């Protein structure tokens, strides 16, 4: 991403009135950790993704190199069948795994959220109390399809105890995702770049202050956004002072059992 997406970083920074950070420009890991410190970010959750290549589990060295600063959610592809479940066990035998990452609509072999092929993975995560992180927005769909939000709801109905974090806030179907979260304490929402200045962004701020105050999580979608600018935005965007500890820390700490 650092090598190939510089024009994309610049376009999004302009769209959201942010800047491109030095670590975005250079891909320098030490600089990124310094930017975490500047942003006041104590722990960075890293959901891996399959569509960009690289070896699954390749981000775990971050955990060893910077103890206490990174938590990796390995990417699990239920299209791999039984080996996908074995991969979860293999990672857990070595690393402290609190959840896994999945991108049903944005991987080499896409699948529906409610595809039965994924049921064994969902069942295992629910049984073992592991979090499912899904990246979900219209930008991650090969074809914009509003039925995907119904699929996500069907998944939740079938696995009501499964804890699901919706990265990219489910935009532009964020109101429907919020409705699911209002009905279920096990849905969490990360608005990241969609909570900044675009259409519907204020919906996330209002929800963080009211209905979703226990289920909204701070995130930046780095390296898409500058982590320092994003943190600064959310500190001044209108989230109530009384809610900030939950948005920035408490909700995630409870979810991740910190």
pLDDT in the model for residue 53: 63
- Report the length, in residues, of the chain: 258
To 5 degrees, how large is the angle CA 72–CA 234–CA 74? 10
pLDDT in the model for residue 206: 96
Classify burial at 192, counting beta carbons within 10 Å of its beta carbon; exposed 0-12, middle 13-18, buried 19 or more. Answer: buried
pLDDT in the model for residue 192: 94
Digitized pLDDT (tens) for each residue of the chain, 258 residues in all? 788 889 988 998 888 888 999 999 999 999 999 999 999 999 999 999 887 666 788 899 999 999 999 999 999 999 999 999 999 999 999 999 999 999 998 888 899 999 999 999 999 999 999 999 999 998 877 777 889 999 999 999 999 999 999 999 999 999 999 999 999 999 999 999 999 988 899 999 999 999 999 999 999 999 989 999 999 999 999 999 999 999 999 999 999 999
How many C-beta atoms surround the C-beta of residue 103 within 10 A?
21
Please state, in angstroms and rounded to a whole number, the distance separating the CA atoms of residues 104 and 109. 8
Separate counts of helices (H) and strands (E) for the chain = 12, 6
How many C-beta atoms surround the C-beta of residue 145 within 10 A?
13
Return phi, psi of residue 141, to 5°. Answer: -105, 130
101 Cβ neighbours under 8 A, 6+ residues apart: 47, 48, 49, 73, 74, 75, 76, 133, 134, 135
Class of domain 2-256 as given by CATH: alpha beta
Dihedral over alpha carbons 34, 36, 39, 42 (to 10 degrees): -130
How many C-beta atoms surround the C-beta of residue 160 within 10 A?
11
């Amino acid at each position: 991403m650092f090598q190939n997406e510089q024009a994309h970083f610049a376009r999004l920074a302009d769209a959201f009135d942010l800047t491109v950070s030095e670590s975005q420009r250079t891909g320098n890991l030490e600089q990124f950790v310094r930017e975490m410190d500047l942003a006041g970010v104590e722990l960075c959750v890293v959901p891996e993704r399959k569509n960009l290549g690289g070896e699954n589990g390749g981000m775990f060295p971050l955990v060893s190199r910077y103890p206490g600063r990174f938590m990796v959610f390995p990417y699990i592809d239920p299209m791999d069948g039984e080996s996908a479940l074995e991969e979860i066990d293999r990672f857990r035998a070595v690393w402290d795994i609190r959840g896994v990452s999945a991108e049903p609509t944005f991987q080499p072999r896409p699948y529906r959220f409610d595809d039965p092929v994924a049921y064994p993975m969902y069942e295992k995560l629910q049984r073992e109390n592991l979090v499912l992180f899904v990246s979900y927005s219209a930008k991650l769909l090969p074809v914009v399809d509003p039925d995907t939000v119904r699929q996500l709801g069907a998944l939740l109905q079938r696995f009501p105890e499964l804890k699901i974090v919706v990265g990219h806030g489910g935009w532009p179907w964020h109101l429907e995702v919020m409705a699911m979260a209002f009905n279920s304490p096990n849905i969490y929402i990360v608005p990241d770049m969609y909570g900044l200045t675009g259409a519907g962004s204020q919906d996330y701020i209002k929800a963080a202050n009211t209905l979703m105050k226990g289920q909204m999580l701070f995130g930046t979608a780095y390296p898409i956004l500058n982590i320092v600018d994003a943190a600064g935005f959310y500190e001044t965007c209108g989230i109530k002072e009384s809610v900030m500890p939950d948005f920035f820390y408490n909700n995630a700490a409870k979810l991740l059992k910190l």
